[in-house]
Each structure stands twice: as structure tokens, then as C-alpha cells.
Structure 1
């Protein structure tokens, strides 16, 4: 073998070795969750991350960066180096609500790399066990008879629970007073205690009290009845049309993530969500897995942004 050929072969082997070494991931991946530890979004992220670790062959380090309606975490993700080693959870607030709620943001929803869907929390209209309201039509009749007298709790201004209320008011043509709380827990507590008339609750936060009979669900804001609440009508069945509302979330990264990262992580994410042990853990929380491809998740988020922008504009909600 000539010296020239030997040199070329050596160079080829060295290049192949370099490519193999550079194959993603070759070290730990950071998963940013824009909520405090222990909440529903945190638990889902950690459950899925644990499954993904096995497929990626690398550790996934979950880091919570809560605050400012997910803006802190979202900004961190978007400003990260686009090498696939920083990704994170982005939800309906991050991608669909905030662009209309805030005059300016530190991040741009269009500048994320969308990787795939994660999960969605069905929203439902509920009252406490002693409430005189037995149906959605009871609520509508009372609201029309005494505009703004009924009160509705939410996890905070601009939360999915708040915006579901605004959509309900618009679709049902009623006036109800919004009462924002600092989180789902205190809102739920006052709904149970009768300090507020009604409330939109998410399936995860309300599950235990619904099962215990302390909350009565009047309707679910989903296209079809929930398997866990087969006797509860959908909003459409209850007489309120064009009303679907979820709190949902997916996985994103900074702009310009390499295609190999998006393809592998997106495929592995869908596989993880469909794994029986992951599916069971998520559904046990009252949440639905939402496996989606990168392109499907981006299209879904953009459609949601457009729909909720109309609701927010009509309700004239601004948070800055």
C-alpha cells in the first residue's frame, strides 16, 4: 500500500472516529421545566425523562426554572446553545397565551425548535358538593338572571382555568366575575369551601376531590366524554358549542437544533409516551399523554395560539 493511500485511509478512519464521538448525545442532557418541583408538569417531565434516559443512553438532568408565567424558563431554553444539550417543557401558556397576554416577551414562540407533544390536562367546569347547580344550564340561567353575581375561581390571571372561563362566558353569552388565586391549590380550596360559585379545574388538580365526591363536575371541555367520568357530558352535550379547552405541554429546544437531534429525540419521545409504564403513570394523574411529531406539535401550538388570541382580545386581558 502506497504512503498516499495509507494517509487517506488513516484520515478516513480518524474522521469516522470523530463523527462517532460527536454523535448526539455524548453527555448529559438538561431538561428545563418552567414550574416548581412537585407539580403536575414537573412530575410528567421527570417520568418521561426517566424513560428517555434508557433510550438515549445518557443522563437527563431535570432543572426547574419557575416564575413569570413560564417566561423565565422559556427564555433560558431559547437562549441556550443549539446543540441538543438543553431542551425543556413549553406549555399552553408559553406558546399560546403569553403572546397575546403580554405586549412584549423575552422569547419568541416562533423561534423554538419544536420536538414533540407531551401531555394535556382536560379542563372541566365544577362546583362543590353543596352547590345548587346540577347542570351547566343551571349556571347559565343564574348568570343571566344576575349578571356578574356568580364568581369563578382560577389559578391566576392568564392561567388555562381563567381563559377557559373567558371562553365559556363568550360562548354561553354570560357575565361571571373572575376571582384569580395564586395557584390551583388555593383556588380549589375556596371552590370546595363555597367562597366562589364555580370554577374551571384541570383533571390533575381536581382528581382526588372529584373521586371523593367533594367536587361535582358539570361538564368537560373536551370533544368526547372522559373515560374517567363517563356520566359527565361534554360542553357541547351540555349546550355550549365550540368549546374545547386543555392545559397542554410539549418539548422544545432553542432555534436551529440539528435535524439529527430533533429526529432522534422526537422519535424517542413518542416511544416513551406510548410505553405502558409511562402511559399508566401519566393517566393515573388524570392527564392524557399527547404524543405528536415535531411538525404536528408546532402546527397544534400555532392553531391554539390563534384560537386563544381571539378569546383574549375579546376579553380585553392584558397582564403587563
Structure 2
């Protein structure tokens, strides 16, 4: 009888915990949701975040605030969210960099695999290989020939160490067997300014940041980094079809929550995002930036991140890329 009483109490306690979790999830969010963007305002990730915040807030019935916490290649914002309360009110807009940083930086205060709960992918799209108009190359083949014939090789800009704009170029350098010197900047805007003025030769950058300058004749576009041609620039070949089969690098944005966030909260958030990313107006706004809206289940997004970490770790090792 005593054992039965203890068993009954244990069941009651378990039911109470389960019930409180369900109630918490049903009531969430109970306050404004903080969407941490680990980059400055105005960049591609910030633009994606503001579209998502606006639409997500409508579906959750709560304000979603975009909080820019830039610095250290996206690591400052990521560390902040990793240490936040796991109640679903502080979330991270993660990018390709948070997969790359796992192998590029030696002393991170967070672990992309274990410090967060995956929620969903948000967007994915190619980068575009652009050059200063004075660079004597009109194709990827001619660019490689130029690099091989140049005494000092080429210089390439990036929006910062560990960004997709950095490692996509390192992957290309390794596959093409050419010399290129990395020149990191604090964001895409200053990098583009120096590229257009001839301070650096090339850059792998987002289509959102690059294509307006291409249309104005201030930059030349040679290829896109995706496996297939981009609908935003269908005349541009891929790097893979330009002589480097297997080359593929995409810039993505996704949503992560602190480790330990209740599963029911994650499910509610993931379901709301599914509606947001299926909205035709959202798809149209992302397409104009060269991104595809892409929803994934929490489980599939976790697998996606795991694969990205492994992929870029291999690139870092083979290329010898370092943080400088």
C-alpha cells in the first residue's frame, strides 16, 4: 500500500509538471519576444529578421523586437542568446557563420550544436562572385587564369572573418588551386566600397548587396555559388558549371532558441514560422533579395546545422583558413 501511495504521488507530480509545461506553452509568449541579430542594422540578415519579426508578431499576438548585437563574426549575439533564459522570449537569427565558427574560432563561449535548440531554417540563397570593373576577367575561367599569371595572386574582400563571404572564397581558392589574399571588413558595406574603388579585386557577396551595383556598372558579376542558377539572375552561370563541379556555397538564416526551451514552445514557434514562410508576400520580399523562404521542422533543421558544421570544418581544414 505504501508503494502504491508513493507511485501515486510520483504520477501526480509528473502530471503537474507536464500540465504546467503545457500551460506555459499555451500562454507563450507572455511578453515581447527578443530576436537577436548578431550583425549591424541594414545588412541581409537584419533585413530578413525584420520581415520575420513583423509577420511572426502578427501570428503570435505579441511584439517581436529586433535586437542588433553585432561583433566578433556573429559570436557576441550568439553567446548572449546561449546564456539567456530558456523560455522562448530570446531567440537568435543564426547564419552560415555560426556553422563555420565552430571550426574557425578556437575559444568560443558557445557551441552551435549543443547550446541551442533548432527552430527552423528561414532563408537560403546563393552568393555572387563579383569583381571590380577594372579586373581583366569576364568569366570564372578568365579570373582563374588571371590569378595564376599574377605574381601576387588576387585579393578578396569579405564582410568579416568566418562569414559565408569568407569561406565561400576559401573553398573556391582551394578548388581552383590559386593564390588569393583575404581582406576582412566589418560588414558588407565597407567591403563593397573598397571593391568598387579598386582596393581589392573580388568578393563573394550576397545578391542583395551586390546586384544593384552590378546593374549600375560599378561591379562585374561572374557567377553564383549555388548548385543551380538563381532565379534572381538566371543569366549568370554557377561556379560548378564554370569548371568546378561540386562547388556549392549558400548563405542561410535560421532561428535558434536557448538550450532547454520547452518542446511545446518550440513546436508553437515552428508552426507559426511555417505560416510566415508560406506567405506569398514574404516569399516575394525574400526573392527580391535573392533568397528563398525555406521552412524546416525542428528535427530537420537540427540535421541541416549538423551537416553545415561538418561541411565547413572540412573547408577550413583543407583551405588552412585562419582568423586574422
TM, length-normalised to structure 1: 0.89
Aligned to 2:102: 99
What is the aligned counterpart of 1:116 among 109, 115, 120?
120
Selected match of 2:189 from 164, 185, 190: 185
Could you say which residue in structure 2 is the equivalent of 1:253?
257
Indicate which of 265, 272, 277 corresponds to 2:276.
272
Q: How much has 1:159 moved relative to structure 2? A: 2.2
Q: Distance in 1 between matches of 2:43 and 2:236?
A: 26
Q: Which residue matches 1:75? A: 79
Contact 1:171 1:242 in 2 (8 A): no
Aligned-pair RMSD on alpha carbons?
Answer: 2.2
Distance apart, 1:319 and its partner CA: 2.7
1:87 corresponds, among 87, 91, 98, to 91
| Corresponding residue SS for 1:222 | coil
| Poorly superposed stretches of 4+, deviation over 6 Å | none
Instruction: Return the alpha-carbon distance in structure 2 between the equivalents of residues 72 and 102 of structure 1.
Output: 13
In the alignment, what sits opposite 1:57?
Answer: 61
> Secondary structure of the residue that 1:125 maps to in structure 2?
strand
Closer/same/farther in 2, CA of residues 146 and 76 from structure 1, 3 Å limit: same
Match of 1:5 in 2: none
Instruction: From the superposition, tell whether residues 296 and 140 of structure 1 become closer, same or farther in structure 2 (CA, over 3 Å).
Output: same
Aligned to 1:299: 303
Report deviation, 1:22.
Answer: 5.8
Match among 275, 284, 287 for residue 288 of structure 2 = 284
Q: Does 1:241 align with 2:245?
A: yes
Shift of 1:33: 1.2
CA spacing shift, 1:284–1:255, aligned 2, 3 Å: same
Q: Which residue number in structure 2 is paired with residue 171 of structure 1?
A: 175
Q: Residue 191 of structure 1 contacts residue 198 of structure 1 at CA under 8 Å; is this kept in 2?
A: yes
1:206 maps to 2:213:
no
Q: How many aligned positions are there? A: 305
Q: SS of the residue aligned with 2:252?
A: strand
* TM-score, with length taken from structure 2: 0.88
CA distance in 1, matches of 2:100, 2:145: 29
Determine the structure 2 residue equivalent to 1:6.
none
How many angstroms does 1:213 deviate by? 2.9
Does 184-193 or 96-105 show the bigger shift? 184-193
Distance in 1 between residues matched to 2:182 and 2:202, nearest whole Å? 10
Structure 2 residue matching 1:174: 3-state secondary structure: coil
